[in-house]
């Protein structure tokens, strides 16, 4: 299975099959009010407390477009390098369901607000894959049916009814489960950088419909099945593997794939049929007569563009090309907005504290962050936004290494203590007397002792066993409890042993 995740190839009895995936991601637009009404979008409110007459579809109510949601959709399009359509139309998508009081969803069909764009994936092996985005359209969310509150009745909560969603539709460019997972992570990261969606998959602010088909390499696309409402990257990967294998089994047995909507059961690790897939014409789409088309001028689009922050791809390039970070460190740091913000704050505080340039400090700061800090956070199952060591506290610690007050070795112990106790680095160093000894006289005295006490090793070293130099360094460090400045130790040992 892990092979299949990376290769997207299924080894069937009759030969190899290739997977093809396309994702439709529903991302809730960050906005205080709904798409066509002033009701609150707050998560976790009392059921049916955020429902206006518009959201409940009372007769005669009229939708009014929320400009902020439109602005966020345009910013998202720009962040994906996509075509912004200056003229777009809202349509009614008609269907009946108890949690859809209007009897139709207001969506965009033929003329969406955003056209084609691209999402760049950084693969684990360092390669890059560009995945096409077909379109982004704005639409309303439906309410929620609660089937588990009563043995006889289904309840309906309309709090989500009318909340603005962006549907971001990819081209069928994804070829492996790993790519599909990376696509979702990268998209979520971009949405968080620009603040158009909080990307919170557990709360349902971002969910994906995953379309899966299989084919022989080089043949036309096969019939797809759609796995509905997936809300975790891990499940997406599992579900694709299961579903692709299921399709191969059917095809190899001489069967055909029915185009249908399926649900992934995370407990069983299986997908099962939910309903046969509707065709667009079943929905009787038509332009909503209550809403004017959206029309933008260049100035509006430019303003949206100016409001974008540095995006993950740009940031990664800058960290590598201008600050000299390794590709690995750069991609770990930019992968999440929280990481990137932490790093920026760490580096800024370190520059301020030491008076050195960003370039001189960048790699050291990124090494500490990606190994020491992330290691400790992982071990404690903590998110960086809940790190007990703030960027400023981290900079204080690194500053002590940079100015030679403590050695890199001691810094690791000090960091452990900071992480545990929340105390500052300088205070810990002071309290425990961990200051690095750079005093030449003190170190010379210790080295003299060691030379006197180890005549055999000195003899061997002097007759050519160079490797023993490390032994003397180790002895000196031990005698000073690791506090001797390694550069000074080296220099004195060279002088005394070689000189
Ligand atoms: P619908 O709303 O009917 O699902 P969309 O056009 O909105 O149709 O979305 C179709 C999605 O399915 C897109 O993400 C597209 O990339 C993907 N897709 C289309 N054909 C295939 C295929 N043969 N195999 C896998 N994915 C596909
Ligand atoms: Mg679909």
- And the tokens for 149? 């509150």
Q: Of 239, 274, 304, which closes a domain?
A: 304
Q: CA 423 to CA 435: how far, in whole Å?
A: 16
Name the residue of 17, 110, 212, 224 to mutate for ligand 1: max ligand atoms within 8 A of Cβ. Answer: 224
Ligand 1 atom at shortest distance from the alpha carbon of 280: 3
Return all residues near 284 (Cβ < 8 A) that are at least 6 apart: 92, 94
**What would the pLDDT profile of 139-170 be if each residue is shown by its tens digit?**
999 999 999 999 999 999 999 999 999 999 99
Q: Is the CB of 107 under 6 A from ligand 1?
A: no
Residue 162: which region, alpha, beta or left (left: phi > 0; alpha: psi -120 to 50)?
left
**CATH number, residue 482:** 1.10.10.410
Q: CA 230 to CA 413: how far, in whole Å?
A: 42
Q: Is the CB of 214 under 6 A from ligand 1?
A: no
Average pLDDT estimate for 31-48: 95
Pair 353, 252 in one domain: no
Q: Which residues have CB atoms below 5 A from the ion given as ligand 2?
A: 24, 209, 226
Average pLDDT estimate for 262-279: 88
Pair 316, 245 in one domain: no
In terms of residue numbers, what domain contains 319? Answer: 310-432
Pair 246, 352 in one domain: no
Pair 294, 317 in one domain: no
Pair 230, 353 in one domain: no
Query: Cβ distance 97 to 132 under 8 Å?
Result: no
Q: What is the pLDDT of residue 1?
A: 60
Ligand 1 atom at shortest distance from the alpha carbon of 24: 14
Pair 323, 293 in one domain: no
Q: Of 289, 304, 319, which closes a domain?
A: 304
Cα 25 to ligand 1 centre (Å): 11
Pair 146, 31 in one domain: yes
Cα 172 to ligand 1 centre (Å): 7
Q: Is the CB of 221 under 6 A from ligand 1?
A: yes
Average pLDDT estimate for 334-361: 96
280 alpha carbon, closest ligand: 1
Q: Is the CB of 108 under 6 A from ligand 1?
A: no
Q: Is the CB of 169 under 6 A from ligand 1?
A: yes
Q: Is the CB of 172 under 6 A from ligand 1?
A: yes
Pair 49, 114 in one domain: yes
Structural domain count of the chain:
3
Q: Is the CB of 228 under 6 A from ligand 1?
A: no
Pair 125, 104 in one domain: yes
pLDDT at 453 over 80: yes
Q: Is the CB of 310 under 6 A from ligand 1?
A: no
Name the residue of 8, 19, 22 to mutate for ligand 1: max ligand atoms within 8 A of Cβ. Answer: 22
Query: Cβ distance 114 to 83 under 8 Å?
Result: yes
Element (H, E) at 15: strand 15-28
Going by C-alpha positions, the residue among 160, 146, 165 that lies closest to residue 107 is 165
Pair 12, 27 in one domain: yes
Residue 359: CB atoms within 10 A of its CB come to 11
Pair 330, 410 in one domain: yes
**What would the pLDDT profile of 417-434 be if each residue is shown by its tens digit?**
999 999 999 999 988 888
Q: Of 432, 451, 479, which closes a domain?
A: 432
pLDDT at 2 over 80: no
Q: Is the CB of 105 under 6 A from ligand 1?
A: no
Pair 167, 124 in one domain: yes
The whole-chain average pLDDT of the chain stands at 94
């Amino acid at each position: 299975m892990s092979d299949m995740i990376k290769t997207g190839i299924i080894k069937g009895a009759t030969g190899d099959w290739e997977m093809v995936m396309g994702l439709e991601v529903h991302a809730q637009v960050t906005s205080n009010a709904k798409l066509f009404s002033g009701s609150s979008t707050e998560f976790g409110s009392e059921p049916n407390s955020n429902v206006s007459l518009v959201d409940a579809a009372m007769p005669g109510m009229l939708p009014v477009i929320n400009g902020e949601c439109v602005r966020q959709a345009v910013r998202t399009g720009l962040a994906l390098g996509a075509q912004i359509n200056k003229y777009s139309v809202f349509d009614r998508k008609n269907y009946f369901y108890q949690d859809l009081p209007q009897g139709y969803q207001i969506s965009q069909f033929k003329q969406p607000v955003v056209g084609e764009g691209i999402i760049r994936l950084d693969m684990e092996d360092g390669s890059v894959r560009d995945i096409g985005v077909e379109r982004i359209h704005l639409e309303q969310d439906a309410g929620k049916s609660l089937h588990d509150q009563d043995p006889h009745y289904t309840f309906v909560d309309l709090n989500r009814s009318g909340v603005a969603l962006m549907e971001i539709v990819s081209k069928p460019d994804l070829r492996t489960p790993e790519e599909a997972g990376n696509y979702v992570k990268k998209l979520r990261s971009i949405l968080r950088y620009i603040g158009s969606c909080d990307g919170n998959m557990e709360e349902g602010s971002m969910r994906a419909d995953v379309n899966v088909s299989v084919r022989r390499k080089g043949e036309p696309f096969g019939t797809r099945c759609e796995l509905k409402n997936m809300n975790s990257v891990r499940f997406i990967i599992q579900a694709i593997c299961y579903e692709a294998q299921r399709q191969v089994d059917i095809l190899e047995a001489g069967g055909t794939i029915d185009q249908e909507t399926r649900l992934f059961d995370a407990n069983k690790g299986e997908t099962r049929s939910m309903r046969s897939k509707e065709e667009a014409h079943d929905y009787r789409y038509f332009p909503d007569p209550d809403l004017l088309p959206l029309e933008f001028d260049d100035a509006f689009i430019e303003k949206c563009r100016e409001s974008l922050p540095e995006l993950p791809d740009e940031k990664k390039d800058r960290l590598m090309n201008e600050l000299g970070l390794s590709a690995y460190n750069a991609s770990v740091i930019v992968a999440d907005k929280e990481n990137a913000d932490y790093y920026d704050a760490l580096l800024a505080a370190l520059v301020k504290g030491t008076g050195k340039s960003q370039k001189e400090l960048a790699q050291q700061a990124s090494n500490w962050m990606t190994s020491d800090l992330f290691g400790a956070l992982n071990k404690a199952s903590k998110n960086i936004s809940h790190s007990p060591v703030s960027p400023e506290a981290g900079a204080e610690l690194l500053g002590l290494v940079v100015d030679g007050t403590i050695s890199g070795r001691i810094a690791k112990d000090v960091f452990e203590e900071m992480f545990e106790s929340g105390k500052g680095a300088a205070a810990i160093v002071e309290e425990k007397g961990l200051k690095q000894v750079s005093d030449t006289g003190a170190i010379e005295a210790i080295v003299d002792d060691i030379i006197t006490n180890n005549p055999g090793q000195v003899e061997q070293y002097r007759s050519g066993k160079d490797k023993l130099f490390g032994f003397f360094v180790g002895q000196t460090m031990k005698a000073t409890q690791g506090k001797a400045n390694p550069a000074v130790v080296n220099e004195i040992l060279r002088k005394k042993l070689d000189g």
